[in-house]
């Protein structure tokens, strides 16, 4: 009878296990290297540059009178064309045209230009300033509509509706007979 001894089977079993691990590693890396490349890694976007507050810098350098003189010129640069104000939340957006360009919408807290932020909105007005919590430097109002008089009555008389005119078809002619 043959006796099974562990010392006789240990080297072949260890060899089998090592070859199985080597084969599995070869299959894994073969599959890994044969798949298409995912492409280059996405590039992280550079952060927006920090713009200095021009009005705060001017105040620091002592330009109080010049800022007051610039306000009327600044008011003529902006035209408020629409307001969407939240009555309870204080949020909203305004439609503002700058320097005669097409109007853009700005949310409360958005920078309209460097050093000028939309601070808050009213029912027919928008307030602008250097910062959201700072003092208001410019208040814009919606222009009054020319088509309204007094208490919302239309300025023009209502148009009378006319019945559509129908054209009469030409009189039917008797069929002609050819000989």
Ordered structural domains, the chain, with CATH: 54-143 (2.30.30)
| Contact in structure between 92 and 107 (CB atoms under 8 Å) | yes
Instruction: For Cα atoms 151, 120, 48, give the angle at the middle one, nearest 5 degrees.
Output: 140
pLDDT tens, N- to C-terminus, the chain (179 residues): 555 677 788 889 999 999 999 999 999 999 988 887 777 777 778 787 887 888 888 888 877 544 444 455 666 788 888 888 776 776 788 888 888 888 898 988 899 888 899 888 888 888 888 888 888 888 888 887 755 544 444 444 444 445 555 555 556 666 666 65
Going by their DSSP bridges, the two strands 116-121 and 104-107 should be labelled as unpaired
Instruction: Quote the CA–CA distance of 151 and 153 in Å, as a whole number.
Output: 6
| Tokens of residue 41, six digits | 């890694």
Report whether 127 contacts 136 (CB < 8 A). Answer: yes
Residue 46 backbone phi and psi in degrees, to 5: -70, 140
What are the E-state strand segments in 15-124? 78-85, 92-98, 104-107, 111-113, 116-121
What is the CB-side half-sphere exposure of residue 161 using CA atoms within 13 A?
2
Dist. CA 94–CA 81, nearest whole Å: 8
Q: pTM here? A: 0.42
């Amino acid at each position: 009878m043959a006796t099974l001894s562990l010392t006789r089977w240990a080297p072949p079993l260890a060899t089998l296990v090592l070859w199985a691990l080597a084969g599995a590693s070869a299959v894994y890396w073969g599959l890994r290297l044969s798949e298409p490349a995912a492409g280059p890694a996405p590039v992280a976007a550079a952060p927006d540059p920090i713009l200095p507050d021009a009005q705060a810098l001017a105040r620091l350098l002592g330009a109080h009178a010049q800022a007051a003189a610039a306000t009327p010129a600044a008011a003529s640069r902006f035209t408020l064309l629409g307001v969407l104000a939240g009555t309870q939340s204080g949020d909203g957006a305004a439609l503002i045209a700058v320097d005669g360009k097409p109007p853009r919408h700005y949310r409360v807290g958005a920078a309209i230009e460097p050093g000028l932020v939309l601070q808050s909105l009213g029912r027919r007005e928008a307030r602008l300033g250097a910062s959201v919590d700072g003092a208001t430097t410019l208040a814009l109002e919606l222009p009054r509509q020319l088509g309204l008089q007094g208490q919302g009555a239309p300025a023009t008389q209502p148009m009378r509706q006319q019945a559509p005119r129908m054209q009469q078809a030409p009189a039917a002619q008797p069929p002609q007979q050819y000989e």
